[in-house]
Amino acid sequence: MAMNYNPIRSVDGVAVKCPSTYKWKQEDLSNKNAGRTEDTVMDKNRIGQIVGIELSWNNVTIAEGAKILQQFDPEYVEVDYLDAKQGKYVKSVFYVGDRSAPLYNAECGRWSNISFNLVERSGV
């Protein structure tokens, strides 16, 4: 039986190339009144949490890079991903941060990498 080691099963229901790097992270969302008091005590006032995922694909062809960027082009995407905290694949809606694609070699038709972050749209 073949195993699928891709930490991203799909984007809007369509399979995506396995990334070279996948970094799951979680961010606390704090109330607008959060902050440190004059007696140096931090009042975090957490009101929720969101997931972020840092992704990159190394040494991809121009065609592969275009496909990856097109899959993540909509304003919001539903991603089926491996969640470190839950220990299983889950689906959530994300928006995509700034994208970058430094060119490795135009003659060889390769990008050095394609990279960007995903940020969960709604907190828990």
- Collapsing DSSP states into helix, strand and coil, what is residue 114? strand
Token digits of residue 107:
């003659």
Average pLDDT over residues 31-35: 87
Q: What residues have CB less than 8 Å from 65, skipping those under 6 apart?
A: 57, 101, 111, 114
Residue 42 has pLDDT above 70, yes or no: yes
Q: What is the chain's mean pLDDT, rounded?
A: 93
Greater pLDDT, 14 or 38: 14
Q: Is 65 left (phi over 0), alpha (psi -120 to 50) or beta?
A: alpha
Q: What is the pLDDT of residue 24?
A: 98
Task: Show the domains of the chain with their CATH numbers.
Answer: 8-29+46-120 (3.30.200)
Per the confidence metrics, is the pTM higher than 0.75?
yes
Percent of the chain with pLDDT over 90: 77
Q: What is the pLDDT of residue 2?
A: 46
Question: pLDDT tens digits for 49-106?
Answer: 999 999 999 999 999 999 999 999 999 999 999 999 999 999 999 999 999 999 998 8
Average pLDDT over residues 26-31: 92
